[in-house]
Amino acid sequence: MERINLKEKEVFKKEGRGMAKVVDEPYLLINQVCLEPGQNVPEHQANSNVTLHVVSGEGTFMIGKEKVIAGPGNLLRIPLDSLMSIQNESPKRLVFLVIKTPHPNAVQKDSPEVKKKEGHFVNLINFPAVKPGKEMEFQEWFRRSSELFAKHQGFISRALLKSIEETGRYAAVVEHESKETFMAMHLSDDREALFKKVETLIDGMPKPHFYDVAASYRR
């Protein structure tokens, strides 16, 4: 028997959500998410069957078009592919468990339904102007961040494009197997930490645009 102290797993951050893995097994993933008042988990698509369990505090949960306010002792069951977001609109800290069955990696590997939907999901990112004297540092950030993102499930490619018309202007093309695998990476702690580092190198925030590949021809 294994006993897990959830209080010891609490991780709060001044910006963004705090998250800690509680269980990570082939067919079960449990994360504990912590939100300060006013913080949120942005809308994303469930990449497995999800059960949310509120440990402490009170949260506002948007599941599709349905809005639910839930406190301790509540379980919310969310089917695969459902749109979901969480907001802490209360004055107190919110702690909840995200229980995924099966593990998202198992869904991607074994589910015929997911395999049927596989294709290329593309994110085009327009970066704001890179600050003067920071281009080499920006290019190095892109190289290092790409190496880390490449370790995520579903990653296909990530390319940096340099404008031939404007100095200091860049764009990026990111390819993933599916929207589900991309969103898992997009909501990861890796992505949050890396994009905080690039904020000091550019004037503003990147603008993402999302696409599904409708047709592809390569020689």
Give residue 115's pLDDT.
45
Sheet holding 59-63, edge to edge: 40-45, 83-87, 59-63, 66-70
Give residue 143's pLDDT.
93
- C-alpha–C-alpha distance, residues 112 and 148, integer Å: 28
Give residue 108's pLDDT.
59
Domains of the chain with CATH codes: 6-112 (2.60.120.10), 118-212 (3.30.70.100)
Give residue 179's pLDDT.
83
- C-alpha–C-alpha distance, residues 129 and 149, integer Å: 23
- For the chain, helix (H) and strand (E) counts, in that order, are 5, 13
Give residue 162's pLDDT.
94
- C-alpha–C-alpha distance, residues 51 and 34, integer Å: 16
Give residue 180's pLDDT.
82
- C-alpha–C-alpha distance, residues 202 and 100, integer Å: 36
Mean pLDDT by 10 residues, the chain (219 residues): 90 88 89 95 88 95 92 91 92 95 69 52 93 94 91 90 93 90 83 85 89 77
- C-alpha–C-alpha distance, residues 65 and 140, integer Å: 42
Give residue 105's pLDDT.
72
Give residue 201's pLDDT.
94
Q: Give the torsion sign (CA, 104, 106, 108, 114).
A: negative
Give residue 106's pLDDT.
67
Angle between helix 135-149 and helix 189-198 axes, rounded to 10 deg: 180
